[in-house]
Amino acid sequence: MKIAILGYGNLGRGVENAIKQNPDMELCYIFTRRDVKTLKVNSDTPVVNVSEIAKYKDKIDVLILCGGSATDLPKQTPEYVKMFNVVDSFDTHAKIPEHFKNVDTEAKKSGKLGIISVGWDPGLFSLNRMYANAILPEGADYTFWGRGVSQGHSDAIRRIEGVQDAKQYTVPVLSAIEKVKNGENPVLSTREKHTRECYVVAKEGADKARIEREIKTMPNYFIDYDTTVHFITQEELDKNHSGIPHGGSVIRCGKTSENTKHVIEYNLKLDSNPEFTSCVLVAYARACYRLNQEGQTGAKTVFDIAPCYLSSKSGDELRKTML
């Protein structure tokens, strides 16, 4: 299977890495908007400027889009599905229906397949919400994130005057998780589900009290949470907070009769958010190619794809070894 990637940030590097663990796939090209002469990659894959991409129309089975959800993917996915089967990790939940429609329209015209919103949330967490809801129609489900680094919240802190660098961890409230797992079906406010932990490097002479106040009262990002702020040195930040771990839980508790409860729980503990997301993208790239080979076109999400398409094993092997 001939795979190419567009975009060579954390996600692009993760895909490059993940493909090495999948012998039925080959990374053929890395497309970039940057200067191809200066971009250093971790393999001997040819690097090509994205302006040339149309020339590769018939040389690629699946193009994995590794751009961001804010500005890149809303344009790129409908654009490139005109030429390629594509997989993206579009994660702006509220805009998924619109994105789906845009990709679906173009993909149906071109006869290609576009799988959108692949990763762990949206992605594996969505699958688990869906399976658990279908199986236990009467119940409630909960998604907890963390402990993990939120890129968006870290960026928001960095934009505050006097902040040199920062890392923000989203932390689930363990006592809330326990209540859910006990089947108490609690009603939980935003504040009761997660706390926020900030590690901040202040510029020399900056007013730390003001920075802390600005963080804790920031609308949308922090005001609805119990937030702790730790001022540390750049050295400490680099040494202890350079990773991008993440994870979380999807828990559904349902009843089948008055006193009969069932709890379905799915947990992820990830040392690297982008490396794991990349692994999910690569597995769905396999599905994308196979389904298009079978004549499927348009946009799809993880809900629409039978699990067997993700695996390099045959149906016989899967039934023998994993069922």
For a second copy, the binding residues in 239-258 under the rule CB under 8 A are 256-257
- Which residue, 17 or 85, is less far from a second copy as judged by CB? 17
Site size with a second copy, rule: CB under 8 A: 65
Question: Judged by CB under 8 A, does residue 208 bind a second copy?
Answer: no
Residue with tokens 């020399």: 204
- Which residue, 163 or 291, is less far from a second copy as judged by CB? 291
CA distance 139 to 257: 11
Contacting residue, 115, 136, 157, 232, with a second copy by CB under 8 A: 136
The span of 2-10, 51-59, 190-198, 303-311 binding a second copy (CB under 8 A) equals 303-311
Calculate the alpha carbon distances from 231 to 95, 204, 317 in Å: 36, 12, 54
Helices and strands of the chain, counted as H and E runs: 11, 14
Contacting residue, 34, 191, 213, 320, with a second copy by CB under 8 A: 320
Phi-psi bin for 291: left (phi > 0), alpha (psi -120 to 50), beta? alpha
Question: Judged by CB under 8 A, does residue 189 bind a second copy?
Answer: no
* Dihedral in degrees, nearest 10, Cα atoms 278, 283, 286, 287: -120
The span of 31-39, 50-58, 91-99, 229-237 binding a second copy (CB under 8 A) equals 91-99
For a second copy, the binding residues in 272-301 under the rule CB under 8 A are 272, 275-276, 278-280, 283, 286, 301
The set of residues, in sequence order, having a beta carbon less than 8 Å from that of 181 and lying 6+ positions away, is 251, 253, 263, 265
The span of 49-57, 146-154, 204-212, 307-315 binding a second copy (CB under 8 A) equals 307-315
CB of 153 to a second copy, least distance (A): 22
CA distance 221 to 154: 10
Q: What share of the chain is helix, strand, coil (3-state, %, to 5)?
A: 40, 25, 35
CB of 22 to a second copy, least distance (A): 6
Burial of 262 (0-12, 13-18, 19+ CB in 10 A): middle
CA distance 15 to 279: 7
CA distance 273 to 124: 13
Q: Are strands 298-300 and 226-231 parallel, antiparallel or unpaired?
A: unpaired
CB of 95 to a second copy, least distance (A): 11
Residue 270 corresponds to which tokens in the numbers above? 């990830």
CB of 127 to a second copy, least distance (A): 6
φ and ψ at residue 204, rounded to 5 degrees: -55, 130
Question: Judged by CB under 8 A, does residue 140 bind a second copy?
Answer: no
Question: Judged by CB under 8 A, does residue 124 bind a second copy?
Answer: yes
Contacting residue, 9, 46, 152, 307, with a second copy by CB under 8 A: 307
- Which residue, 3 or 202, is less far from a second copy as judged by CB? 3
Question: Judged by CB under 8 A, does residue 41 bind a second copy?
Answer: no
Q: Which residues bind a second copy (CB under 8 A)?
A: 14, 17-18, 21-22, 93, 96-97, 100, 117, 122, 124, 126-127, 129-131, 133-138, 181, 256-257, 259-272, 275-276, 278-280, 283, 286, 301-308, 310-312, 315-316, 318-320, 322-323
